[in-house]
Amino acid sequence: MKRTNKNFSSVFTYAAIIVGILVLLGAIFPDSFGDISGAIGTWITEVFGWYYMVIFTLILFFCIFLCFSPIGKLKLGKPNDKPEFHTISWLTMLFSAGMGIGLVFYGSSEPISHYVAPPTADPETKAALAESMRSTFLHYGFHPWAVYGTVALALAYTQFRKDERGLMSKTLRPIFGDRVDGPLGNIVDVLAVFATIIGVAVSLGVGALQINGGLHYLFEIPNNIFTQGIIIAIATILFLISAWTGLSKGIQYLSNLNLILAGLLFITVLILGPTLLILNMIPSAAGDYLNQLIFNSLDPAPLSEQKQEWMQDWTLYYWGWWMSWSPFVGVFIARVSRGRSIREFVLAVLFVPTFVSFLWFSTFGLTGIETGQNASQIFDMPPETQLFGIFNELPLSILLTITALVLVSSFFVTSADSATFVLGMQTAFGTLHPKNFVKIVWGISLSAIAFVLLLSGGETGLDALQSAAIISALPFSLVVLLMMIAFYKDANKERKYLGYTLKPNKQRLKEYMKKSENTEDEQS
């Protein structure tokens, strides 16, 4: 394998140039930047909406297939590798990196939005309430985690089982051969870096909006771009300090803190909210979601103008965000999943976070809707302050608000911390230990892009974030499709060699393990 500074500088330089141009254009011409990105995002949703729906469904069914396939017996690593992290810490790291900020930001505001402006039902009716939960479950259910899992599987398999570098391009070797070591590989890696930067920047922008909303509620601090810039700057310093301490210390400690805070907030709101309604709606809404999963997964709403507009604002935005977020989450959870079997990995990634999301959105969404029915001003609040408006109507409002702010801040730091590690890997030969200097460069770049997107969006900063996610996802979705094909081709070939049907071929498995041990000795 080639390990030259030239390869490193190519990916790093090209990605840095793209980021630098975007930051400069957004800072110098914020209004034009916002208008152009908004127009491109709208065009993509109108022309390629069907494509996003189809590709996400294909990826989901691919993951379900792996759960039942003999391929699931293969390990993400050598046959004798053991998991690096305890299962609980592993699951919390998956979840914190996956969508932590989104849960807090949209926990109440998304169900409320679908209740007030549903895709098909009449607003503020029982049908709208059922539809609001079903739609939210669709966006935070199996689909995003199927994409994350597919990217992570391909990366972990090629890196830990095939001894490749942890780069997106290397996962495509079964299709393109040694061409992934040249310009083609650089293009794939630059696309992955660009998608990672945009996906994480969207999350950081959303986090800054909500932190600002909470500070405005508590201390009447102005809710504007200047305050959001200060928040991003302070958070940047914090997550760079965390990144400096390394993966196993900084990210693992913060992930465990996130779990504790999120659990406390969840239990408190469950008790203070409409507890019986929540407990009854969780199985009902989950059943409704599963009952209409295939239809809603494939329906781009060609015959309903109301639902089509709703989908452009919500489903297609989410599909773009999750796709652009997937290289970051994929690299990160691949890194922490060595030693897990493919079946164990897919089941955990697909079902555990989905189940937690159902509990979370049922609790916060139904509490928000019922509170808004008694205090209608909540329905008119912007999404970044809606959660705090709901807390204001509940007992322990100040304590709830402070806990939510700390949780969002912790998720902010965790996401950015993890992203600097991932970007460092992607621009330094896929090393599991990128230099701190590289992580600092990408940490500052992430914050700069997040600020520019908020700046270009003006009063509707969330619109600019949505457009950026949709745009960056389109080219990278092709890479994900190729990764899925390449992974299946390689894994199925090995599955046949090892005789993995109902029982493995013991002799070949023994030979494979001996060969793996010899390879590790040579590398040492």
pLDDT of residue 435: 80
pLDDT of residue 5: 44
Domain boundaries, given as residue ranges, for the chain: 5-523
Count other Cβ atoms within 10 Å, centred on residue 510.
Answer: 11
DSSP state of 122: P
Calculate helix-pair angle for 436-457, 5-28, nearest 10 degrees.
20
User: How far is 87 from 85, CA to CA, in rounded Å?
Assistant: 6
- Whether the pLDDT of residue 431 is over 80: the answer is no
Selected residue with higher pLDDT from 459 and 463: 463
At residue 441, the 3 state secondary structure works out as helix
Mean pLDDT (whole number) for 274-287: 95
The segment with the largest mean pLDDT, out of 235-239, 391-395, 458-462, is: 391-395
Q: How confident is the model at residue 198 (pLDDT cuts 50, 70, 90)?
A: confident
Mean pLDDT (whole number) for 437-457: 85
DSSP state of 75: B
In this predicted model, what pLDDT tens digit does every residue of 258-271 receive, in sequence order?
Answer: 788 889 999 999 99
Mean pLDDT (whole number) for 337-360: 91
Token pair, residue 223, equals 């809710």
Q: Residue 84: is it exposed, middle or buried by C-beta count within 10 angstroms (0-12/13-18/19+)?
A: middle
**Residue whose structure tokens are 């928040």:** 231
pLDDT of residue 512: 57
pTM: 0.87
**CA angle at 94 for the pair 93 and 99, rounded to the nearest 5°:** 105
- Whether the pLDDT of residue 502 is over 50: the answer is no
pLDDT of residue 324: 87
Q: Give the least confident one: 245-249, 317-321, 397-401.
A: 245-249
pLDDT of residue 258: 78
Which amino acid makes up residue 158?
Answer: T
- Whether the pLDDT of residue 443 is over 80: the answer is yes
Q: How confident is the model at residue 416 (pLDDT cuts 50, 70, 90)?
A: confident
Q: Residue 444: CA atoms inside 13 Å, Cβ hemisphere, count?
A: 7
pLDDT of residue 1: 40
Mean pLDDT (whole number) for 474-489: 95
CA-wise closest residue to 226 among 26, 454, 40: 454
Specify the fold of 5-523. Amino acid/polyamine transporter I (1.20.1740)
When the pLDDT of each residue in the chain is averaged and rounded to a whole number, the result is 85
pLDDT of residue 524: 47
pLDDT of residue 6: 43
b/e code 432-467 from CB counts within 10 Å (16+ = b): eebebebbbbbbebbbbbbbbbbbbbeeebbbbbbb
In this predicted model, what pLDDT tens digit does every residue of 204-224 receive, in sequence order?
Answer: 888 898 899 888 888 889 988
Count the residues in the chain.
524
Dihedral angle at the C-alpha atoms of 257, 314, 18, 146, nearest 10 degrees?
Answer: 60
pLDDT of residue 2: 40
At residue 524, the 3 state secondary structure works out as coil
At residue 502, the 3 state secondary structure works out as coil
Q: How confident is the model at residue 165 (pLDDT cuts 50, 70, 90)?
A: confident
**Residue whose structure tokens are 């942890």:** 166
- Whether the pLDDT of residue 369 is over 70: the answer is yes
Q: How confident is the model at residue 157 (pLDDT cuts 50, 70, 90)?
A: very high
